[in-house]
Structure formats: C-alpha cells, structure tokens
Amino acid sequence: MAEILLLIDRDENRRLLVEWLSNRHEVTSAIDESDPERSPDLCIMDRVSLERHATRLAKRKTAAEPVFLPYLLVVSQQHLGEISSEIWSQIDAVVQEGVDELITAPVKKTELHGRIENLLRTREFSVDLRDRNDELRTLNHINAVIRTVNGALVTAVTREEIEREVCEQLANAPPYRFAWIGEPAVTGRTVEPRTAAGVESGYLDAPIPVEMDGEPTGTALTAGESRFVRPTETTAAWAEAALDREYRSIAAIPLVYGETVYGVLGVYSDRTEAFGGEERTVLDELGRTIGHAINAAESKMALVADTVTELRFGFADTPEPLIALSEEGYEVSLEGTVSDEHGDVLEFYAIEGDTEAALDRLSSSPAVESARVVTDGTDAALVELRLAESLLAEFADQGATVESLLVSEGACRLVATLPQSVAVKAVIEGILANHPDGELRARRQVERSGTNRQAFRAVLEADLTERQREVLQTAYLSGFFGWPRESTGEEIAESLGITPSTLHQHLRVAERKLLDAFFDRDDQSDT
C-alpha cells in the first residue's frame, strides 16, 4: 500500500480525495516534520498548498534523490486558462525538480486513478533500481574487503599477525567503523580482547560476558554461530554504549576450524542496514578462513622449534646491470658479500659466459662503481662488484640475510631469511616500496639446518672483530687461500681500501682465532 501525501487547501475537495484514495492507499494530510528526510510515495497538491509548502516540498524532493518522488498538481478548470510558461516557471522556482504531472479539477476518478498508478509505478521502478544498485555496491565493496583480508592472511605467519591484519583491513574499509578479535577469558565467563582497530573509544573497557542475549560477540561464542544485531532494537546497556559510538549494526563471527573455536571477530558499522544476506555469507566464510589460518600458524609454531622466515622474491629490473647482462645470455649467481670500512658492500658473483665481454659490459654501466675478475674458471668466472645501489645491502639493513640470488634470462630470483625477531611485514613492504618491479612469490617458515655448524660459527663470530671477519671473508671469496692464489694480497687490500700490511695483520689474527676455535683452545693472545 502506497503512502500519499494530500495537500489540498479546500476542505471539500480534500474530503472527496481522501474518500476516493483511502480504499487503495494510505493517505496523510500533513508533512511529517519529525523526520525531514522521510518522504511519501506521492504528493498531490493544489496551487495554494504548493506556494505555502514550497521550501519543505523542495527539500523532500532533494532528500529523496536518486529515488523518484512524484508531485501531482491539481489545477481548477477555471484557472486552466492561466496555465502558461510564467506559471510553470513559478512552479519550477519553488520545487527543485518541478511538478511531474498536472490534472484539472473537477477530477474524474478514472483519470485520477490512471495518473496515480503511472506515477507510483515509476516510483516503484526507481526504488527497485536504487535498491539493486545499493546491493551491488555493497557486495562489490565487501568482496573487495574480503579479498584484501584474504591476501593479508596469505602472507601472515603468526596468530598475532593474522589477527592484526584482519582487524586493520576491516576497520579501514567503510562502512565498517571498528573491528576486534577476542577469545574466552581464563574464567570462561567473559570475552577477552586480543587485538582491535578503528574507533573503539573505550567500548571494550566494560567486560563482555559470554552469554546468550548479551553483547553479540559473547552471544556468538556461546551459540557457536554468527550473530547480526542492530543496537537500536534493544535497550541493553551495551546497545547504548554502541550507539554512543555510532555502531548501528554489529556482526559477530566465531573463528572456527573443525571442532575448535579460536575466538570471535566483531565488526561494527555506522550503517543501520549493514550486514545483509550475501554480506553475512561472506563474513561467515571469512570466520572459517581466519580459523584455518590460525590453526596453520599455531601448528607450524608447535612443530618447528628453531625456525626462520624464508622469503622468495622475483625482480624484473633489479639489479639493473645484472639483468641487462642476463638478457645477453649470461647466468649470474651470488657467491657472497662483505662490507668495506665505509660500509659499502662488495658482492661476489659467479658469471657463466664470456668473462672479458661481461666485465666490459659491467664496467661501462653507471650503476657499477667497480668490477674486477677474481678468477676466470672453466665453467664460470668469479667477479667482484661494487654497485652504486646494492639490493643486498637493503636486505641487510632490514635484518634479512640473502641466501641466494640468481639472475637469468632477464629476471632475478632472490631467497632471503629473517629471524623470528624481525617484523616480516615491514621488511616486505620496505623492499617492495623501493622496488616496484619486485614481487613476493612465497613466504614460509623453515627449520634452521646445521645447528652444530651454526654454534661453531656463533662462537667464532663472537670472538672476531667485525673488521677481521670482513677481511677474512673477502680474502676467502677472492680466492686468496686457493692454490695457486686467485687474488693477491695487494688486490684484496685495494678492494678494501687498506694497506697490504694491514690486510696481512688482520688475516693472521683471524686465522689464529679460527684455529683456536677449531681446536677448542682458550689461551688466545692475539687481539
């Protein structure tokens, strides 16, 4: 039943119209001043009422957009001759979108019925189109949010990181205003917050009991199923607190994997009509996805005692001189790195192909500060490079260790590891922000291998000074300890920017400490 607002000045005309229309429609005779945005389905008025209520009618018309709000003007037969462009200009001036239909009085019931049905049908189409567009926008929006959240779950490793990503992504996506994840407290009587994002404003300060018919997150945990609630529909204290923070709709979704409930996700919107049918389905699926991700993260942490995070990257243009070399058929692989006394990185690469041509190409690149062949083997040459901008140095600055780097056929593949203490997400974001050509291709937890070897290296590195270690590693990578020697002491000293005598002093001390560590001797006298 449509609502018709009847604004007719003459009592008898108004009475007759009310009598005719009331059989099929709900008829009102006054503008609802309590809700300025509320509009009827049709307004029938005469010229006197049009002039009297012009401002309010214009506001109603504007507020209804983009929905069609029809205005039907009744003009008496005796004034029909006065209808001119001047009168229509007057009508358009007082009603923003103008009067939509005009009918003369005395009104014929069949004509009035036809006009009204046509206008109401047009409005119905308009409302239906609005609703369909709103639903489509909502679904597109929520699906985009969920895709973003799922993408974050793929790269998250720990439970804390998973939960933080979920809450941040949801809280930053209008119309969502606040999101948090909680779990049952030790007592089992309340929901204990684990992480939150968005406009919380002390909402979680009050204990949330795990019970039916309470705050939705506690109810969802008790029932083991999602709850979608509008605080306006209850007078509970939590609802008043929610409305104070403009939470007009609340979704509470259990985080479930198998028979295990890891907690509950609360999502709060400032829209009363949020969390429609399809949106509920998507959020339910998100709850199961989060539960699965938490299970996987905790299972990995339980099974792996000593782990690091392994990151696998692909780069299309970085490092530029090595990419350019590989496009000419060369294959380049990292052998090791050291830092000189200025903190610049010396990088050692095995290069397969014409060594002389490769060195000429690298030396001519503005991105290469220095290049020299350490040894020219049968299968590959060992080349020492000092690059103007070192990708390896960037990883080192982030606390990551580059385990391997291979450049072939115009692409670079790099594997790096990070200890558990490093913020993995920050490392990934930092590298990709500096190198838009990069792509994170894999992320996983891997077990450290060679524990005894690592322990031995830890003891040795703790005893060596940083400079002694750098000199020893540079000499090793440069083939100084080979026979015949692939690099002289003078060449290595020049690369490091020190004198040959200083080089040999550092080497003798480092060699002594290496042997002391190997033979487990504590009576070291060199420094």
CA distance 67 to 404: 61
Of all helices (H) and strands (E), which one includes residue 447?
Answer: strand 438-447
Domain interval for residue 73: 3-129
Tally Cβ neighbours within 10 Å of residue 216.
25
Higher-confidence residue: 526 or 403?
403
Number of domains within the chain: 4
Average pLDDT over residues 345-368: 91
Average pLDDT, the chain: 82
Residue 411: inside a domain: yes
Average pLDDT over residues 48-70: 84
Position 248 confidence tier, pLDDT thresholds 50, 70, 90: very high
* Residues 355, 251 share a domain: no
Amino acid at 365: S
Least confident window among 186-190, 266-270, 367-371: 186-190
Which phi and psi (to 5°) does residue 75 adopt?
A: -120, 130
Position 252 confidence tier, pLDDT thresholds 50, 70, 90: very high
Tally Cβ neighbours within 10 Å of residue 472.
22
319: left (phi over 0), alpha (psi -120 to 50) or beta: beta
CATH of the domain at 500: 1.10.10.10
* Residues 513, 377 share a domain: no
What is the per-residue pLDDT for 115? 87
Amino acid at 345: V
Residue at token pair 């350019």: 324
Position 80 confidence tier, pLDDT thresholds 50, 70, 90: low
Q: Which residue, of 421, 449, 477, is where some domain finishes?
A: 449
Higher-confidence residue: 482 or 507?
507
Structure tokens at 326: 């590989």
* Residues 7, 118 share a domain: yes
In sequence order, the β-bridge partners of residue 181 are 195, 265
CATH of the domain at 269: 3.30.450.40
Statement: residue 2 has pLDDT above 70: yes
* Residues 164, 119 share a domain: no
* Residues 278, 377 share a domain: no
Average pLDDT over residues 316-324: 94
Average pLDDT over residues 491-498: 83
Task: Look at residues 108, 113, 105, 107 and name the one whose alpha carbon lies nearest to residue 23.
Answer: 113
What is the per-residue pLDDT for 411? 95
Statement: residue 324 has pLDDT above 60: yes
Tally Cβ neighbours within 10 Å of residue 130.
15
Q: Which residue, of 423, 449, 475, is where some domain finishes?
A: 449
Statement: residue 515 has pLDDT above 90: no
Non-local (6+) Cβ contacts of 369 within 8 A are: 386, 387, 388
Position 305 confidence tier, pLDDT thresholds 50, 70, 90: very low
Residue at token pair 């008790």: 222
Strand segments (E) across 258-408: 260-269, 307-315, 331-339, 345-352, 368-376, 381-387, 401-408
Give a three-class secondary structure readout of 68-117.
CCCEEEEEEHHHHHHCCHHHHHHHHHHCCCCCCEEEEECCCHHHHHHHHH
Task: Look at residues 271, 290, 281 and name the one whose alpha carbon lies nearest to residue 139.
Answer: 281
- Convert the pLDDT of each residue in 398-409 to its tens digit: 888 899 999 999
DSSP label at 388? S
Average pLDDT over residues 183-196: 86
Residue 412: inside a domain: yes
Structure tokens at 311: 């990151």
CA atoms in the 13 A half-sphere facing the CB of 260: 11
What is the per-residue pLDDT for 414? 96
Task: Look at residues 454, 222, 424, 455 and name the one whose alpha carbon lies nearest to residue 308.
Answer: 424
Residues written for the chain:
527
Average pLDDT over residues 19-28: 87
Task: Look at residues 146, 120, 110, 136 and name the one whose alpha carbon lies nearest to residue 43.
Answer: 120
Residue 134: inside a domain: no
Q: Which residue, of 112, 129, 146, is where some domain finishes?
A: 129
Structural contact between residues 383 and 353, judged by C-beta atoms closer than 8 angstroms:
no
Structural contact between residues 231 and 272, judged by C-beta atoms closer than 8 angstroms:
no
Structure tokens at 437: 């050509």
Residue 51: inside a domain: yes
Statement: residue 520 has pLDDT above 60: no
Least confident window among 155-159, 178-182, 227-231, 345-349: 155-159
Residue at token pair 């509008």: 230
Least confident window among 101-105, 486-490, 520-524: 520-524
Higher-confidence residue: 100 or 141?
100
Q: Give 486-494's long-range contacts (Cβ < 8 A, gap of 24+).
A: 486/374, 486/375, 486/382, 487/374, 487/375, 491/372
Statement: residue 90 has pLDDT above 70: no
Statement: residue 97 has pLDDT above 60: no
Least confident window among 335-344, 407-416, 445-454: 445-454
* Residues 414, 327 share a domain: yes
Higher-confidence residue: 193 or 113?
193
CA distance 75 to 99: 12
* Residues 465, 515 share a domain: yes
Percent of the chain with pLDDT over 70: 83
Position 314 confidence tier, pLDDT thresholds 50, 70, 90: very high
Q: What is the DSSP string of 192-239?
A: EEEEEEE--TTGGGS-EE--TTSSHHHHHHHHTS-EEE-GGG---HHH
What is the per-residue pLDDT for 251? 96
